[in-house]
């Protein structure tokens, strides 16, 4: 799968594992992508071979026992900021990852065998919600797939500075999951002063999610910072074409005017 192809696809048509592999290959063309494919296939076969639980809690426990228990995949608490924790192929190889990358594996596996599961966006964290039997169950892929109550999820959000959300936390689309995973890498690159790396990642982000204006804005800021004013202008123009917010449009036009003056 090509990254440019992802940006043209409807969300429902994106295979999140293949998209994650494409992102991994963009960094390391020699990465062992087939290992992740074999792992996913093996997990799916194992689940389908069992007497599949029909309740949400039973499904959540089975996913966790397979991914965290048998395969040993859990959160990297020792080296959290390691960029490999947001590389899906590397996560499968190292058995350690960030909340978002681990959540992608849980959600992708559940959906592969016809179960409904979603990654929930919390402030600074991601949980997985599994559905079944008219109910839902929460689990934390970063903490060995442990089961959580809604109250505990709210506590996690509050500890990260987030306010309680009426009706639960929003489920991420497939594209949003990919964006959150790559954005983790981009944020760390920028914090480490690696502007070139951060810009490259924002170029990927605007490729896979061209309708998300905020990504174009961050890309333009980085381009402007390293003196690529023409590129920054092109990024802002792309953002202008996707926004429907009049105030945002005015802000973009004002920034474009400032860039034009800088080039003269």
Q: Is residue 151 part of a domain?
A: yes
Q: CATH code at 255?
A: 1.25.40.10
Domain shared by 147 and 233, yes or no:
no
Domain shared by 155 and 178, yes or no:
no
Distance CA 206, CA 242 (A): 12
Distance CA 45, CA 26 (A): 29
Taking only Cα atoms into account, the Rg of the chain, rounded to an integer number of angstroms, comes to 20
Q: Is residue 164 part of a domain?
A: no
Domain shared by 120 and 207, yes or no:
no
The four Cα atoms 38, 43, 46, 52 give a dihedral, to 10 degrees, of -150
Which region holds residue 82: left if phi is over 0, alpha if psi is between -120 and 50, else beta? beta
Indicate whether this model's pTM tops 0.85. yes
Q: Give Cα 97 to chain centroid, integer Å.
A: 12
Distance CA 201, CA 211 (A): 16
The per-residue pLDDT string of the chain (264 residues; one tens digit each, 9 = 90 and over) reads: 789 999 999 999 999 999 999 999 999 999 999 999 999 999 999 998 877 788 999 999 999 999 999 999 999 999 999 999 999 999 999 999 999 999 999 999 999 999 999 999 998 899 999 999 999 999 999 999 999 999 899 888 888 776 656 667 899 999 999 999 999 999 999 999 999 999 999 999 999 999 999 999 999 999 999 999 999 999 999 999 888 888 888 898 888 888 888 776
Length of the chain counted residue by residue: 264
Tally the domains of the chain.
2
Domain shared by 48 and 154, yes or no:
yes
DSSP string for 7-56: HHS-GGG--HHHHHHHHHHHH-TTS-HHHHHHHHHHHHHHHHHS----SH
């Amino acid at each position: 799968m090509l990254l440019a192809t992802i940006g043209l696809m409807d969300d429902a048509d994106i295979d999140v594992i293949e998209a994650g592999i494409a992102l991994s290959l963009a960094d390391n063309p020699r990465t062992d992508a087939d290992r992740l494919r074999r792992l996913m296939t093996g997990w799916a076969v194992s689940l389908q071979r069992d007497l599949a639980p029909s309740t949400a809690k039973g499904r959540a426990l089975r996913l966790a026992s397979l991914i965290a228990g048998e395969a040993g995949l859990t959160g990297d608490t020792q080296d959290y900021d390691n960029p490999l924790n947001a590389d899906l192929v590397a996560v499968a190889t190292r058995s350690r990852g960030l909340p978002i990358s681990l959540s992608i594996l849980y959600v992708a596996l559940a959906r592969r065998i016809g179960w409904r599961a979603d990654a929930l966006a919390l402030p600074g964290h991601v949980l997985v919600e599994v559905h079944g039997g008219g109910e839902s169950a929460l689990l934390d892929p970063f903490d060995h797939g442990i089961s959580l109550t809604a109250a505990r999820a709210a506590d996690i959000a509050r500890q990260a500075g987030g306010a309680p959300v009426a009706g639960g936390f929003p489920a991420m689309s497939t594209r949003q999951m990919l964006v959150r995973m790559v954005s983790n890498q981009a944020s760390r690159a920028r914090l480490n002063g690696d502007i070139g790396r951060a810009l490259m990642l924002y170029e990927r982000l605007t490729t896979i999610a061209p309708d998300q204006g905020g990504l174009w804005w961050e890309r333009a800021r980085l381009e402007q910072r390293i003196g690529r004013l023409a590129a920054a202008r092109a990024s802002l123009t792309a953002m202008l074409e996707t926004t429907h917010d009049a105030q945002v449009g005015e802000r973009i036009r004002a920034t474009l005017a400032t860039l034009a003056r800088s080039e003269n």
